[in-house]
Amino acid sequence: MSQVGPNPEPSEKKTPSPKRATFFGTAFHKVSERNQVAIPKHMLKVAVESQEGQLLLMRLNNEGYLRIYTQSQLDEKIDGIRSRADLEVKVRSELVRGLSRNAVPIEPDSQGRFVLPPRWVEELGLRDEVAFCGAFSWIEVWPAAARRDVELKEKELERSAPSSALIAEIMDT
């Protein structure tokens, strides 16, 4: 026994906590006749191994794509809204309710397949092919043609001298 209290027991080996889910890369996948798509294996693996809860599909502010968040990541976004002292309580509550109503739980099967909600299939034209794009803490689900257009514009921007210099500076530090 120490002067402060009993000596602590030797700590048991703790299992490391799962890594935070972070998503990278872009993968194109066909949409079935039943509006079923499959989350790319590498993205599904990250989501499952992170143990951050169920996956939630949503569309924000009429964006041209859908977002997939883990429960934990969406909870953090909501907590961030709730902690905003610069917003009135009523505004914070409306924002939280809006996000919560807009989030659709998805339960991919073992191969990552899930069904896209019909309203978003129609609104976004997610008929033939989609692009799953890692956006670090979430996954974007784009109509494939729209994503290809964005990628062409991004490549043009990357070729510009100021953009190339900035990317090199960031990546080299």
Q: Look at residue 115 and give its three-state secondary structure.
A: strand
Tokens 């000596």 correspond to what residue?
7
Residue 7 placed within a domain: no
Which of 137, 91, 114 is CA-nearest to residue 35? 114
For residue 155, name the pLDDT band (cuts at 50, 70, 90): confident
CA distances from 146 to 31, 63, 112 (A): 15, 12, 23
Residue 156 placed within a domain: no
Domain that holds residue 57: 26-144
Whether 39 contacts 139, CB under 8 Å: yes
Residue 41 placed within a domain: yes
Q: What is the pLDDT of residues 135-149, one digit of tens each?
A: 999 999 999 999 999
Residue 51 placed within a domain: yes
Prediction pTM value: 0.81
Number of domains into which the chain is organized: 1
Q: What is the pLDDT of residues 69-89, one digit of tens each?
A: 999 999 999 999 999 999 999
Residue 166 placed within a domain: no
CATH code assigned at 30: 3.40.1550.20
Longest dimension (CA), the chain: 71
